[in-house]
Amino acid sequence: MFNKKIDFMKTFKPAIIIYAAVLAVSIIITLFVGVKLDINFSGGTRISYSYEGEISTDKVTEAVKTITSVPVTVSESTSIAGDTKTLTLSFAGKDSIDAEIQQKITSKLATDFKANAPSLYDSTSISATVASSFFIKTLVAVLLAAALVVVYVGIRFRKIGGVSAAITAFVALILDVLVAFFTCTVFGLPIDSNFMAVVLTILGYSLNDTIVIYDRVREGRRLEPNADLGDLVNDSVNSVMKRTVITTVTTLLAVFTIVVVSEFFGLSSLRSFAIPMGFGLISGCTSSLFISTPLWVIWKKHSKKSKKSK
C-alpha cells in the first residue's frame, strides 16, 4: 500500500464528492433528530442518584414524567471499580427544576424503586442566561484558536504562498469540525465541553499533518524550483502518507479503547468525547492528504493562469 504512489490530484474530486455526500446525509439526519445541547450550554438541571442492583431507565423516565412535564434524559453509569452505580436525570432547556420538584422526584424514585435504594448524589442547576454566555465564550475561544493556527500557517509558509496555504488548510479544518459535529448529532451525543475539547484536539492533529506536507513541499520547491507543482505535491504527500496514517491509526486504537470502556461502564462523559474524536481523527487524516494540499495546488495554478491572462 505505502510503496505505491497515489496521484492525489486525481483523487481530489472523489474525496470532495464523498465528503459532500456524508455531510448531506448528516444534515438530513440532524434536521430530523435535532441537536442536543448539554445543560452547560443550554441551561437546565442535572440530578444524580446512587443506586443498587439493576434499574430500568425507561421506568425511571415514566416515573419522572408523573412529577414534571419538563423533558428529561435518563442515563446510568458505573464506576470503573464497579462499586458505585449512578443514575443521572438531565433536564436541559429554559425550564428549571426547583427544589420542591426535585424533592418530589427524589421521593417518587425512593418509593417506586425501593429495592434499588436510590440516594441523592448530586444536583446542579444552570440558568439559560449563564449557559448562553458560557457557550458564546467557549465558541469564541475555539474560533480564536483556529484563526491563530491559520495565521501561523500563513506566516510560516509565506515563501510558497502563505495566504493560499492557510486558507486551504482552514477549509480542511472546517470539514473536520463538521464531521465531529455531525457525529454527535447522528449518535445522539450532546454538544458539551467535551466536544469543544475534541474540536481543539482535531485542529491540532489535522493542522500538524498539513504542516508536515507543506514543509515537504517547501523543501522540494527549494531543491527543484522548476518542478511541476502537482508532481511536487504528489511526491511530498506520498512521502509523508505512511507517517500520517500510522500516527492516526495508533491514536485511533487509544480512542477505541476509551469507547469500549465507556460503553462497558456506561460512562456518557467518555462516550461524548471518544466517538466524535475517532471520526474527527479519521477526517483529519483524510482531509490533510486528499483535500487541503490538492486544493492548494488548484488555487495556485488558477492564480498563475489568471496572472498570465492579464
6 SS3 class: coil
Mean pLDDT value across the chain:
83
Average pLDDT on 74-98 reads 74
- Does position 2 have pLDDT exceeding 60, yes or no? no
Nearest CA-CA partner of 184 in 278, 287, 44: 278
Q: Could you give the domains of the chain?
A: 44-126 (3.30.70.120), 130-309 (1.20.1640.10)
Beta bridge partners of 291: none
Q: What is the pLDDT of residue 1?
A: 45
Per-residue pLDDT tens over the stretch 192-230: 888 888 888 888 888 888 888 888 888 888 888 777 877
Residues in the chain: 310
Nearest CA-CA partner of 267 in 255, 258, 276, 278: 258
Average pLDDT on 103-132 reads 85
Report yes or no: 51 and 85 within 8 Å, Cβ to Cβ: yes
Q: What is the pLDDT of residue 83?
A: 66
Tell me the HSE value of 107 on the side-chain side, using a 13 A CA sphere.
8
Measured distance CA(167)–CA(151) in Å, rounded: 9
Backbone angles phi, psi at 70, to 5 degrees: -70, 130
User: In the chain, how long is the greatest CA-to-CA distance?
Assistant: 82
Measured distance CA(261)–CA(121) in Å, rounded: 23
Per-residue pLDDT tens over the stretch 66-85: 888 888 888 887 765 556 78
Grid coordinates in use for 279? 471520526
Tell me the HSE value of 268 on the side-chain side, using a 13 A CA sphere.
20
Tell me the HSE value of 274 on the side-chain side, using a 13 A CA sphere.
19
Grid coordinates in use for 75? 442515563
Report yes or no: 242 and 213 within 8 Å, Cβ to Cβ: no
Measured distance CA(81)–CA(221) in Å, rounded: 56
Per-residue pLDDT tens over the stretch 36-51: 888 878 788 888 888 8
Q: How far is CA 103 from its chain centroid?
A: 36
Measured distance CA(27)–CA(36) in Å, rounded: 14
Measured distance CA(261)–CA(66) in Å, rounded: 34
Q: What percent of the chain has pLDDT over 70?
A: 93
Measured distance CA(283)–CA(44) in Å, rounded: 33
Q: What is the pLDDT of residue 279?
A: 93
Report yes or no: 191 and 37 within 8 Å, Cβ to Cβ: yes
Tell me the HSE value of 82 on the side-chain side, using a 13 A CA sphere.
2
Q: What is the pTM of this model?
A: 0.81
Measured distance CA(303)–CA(161) in Å, rounded: 11
198 SS3 class: helix
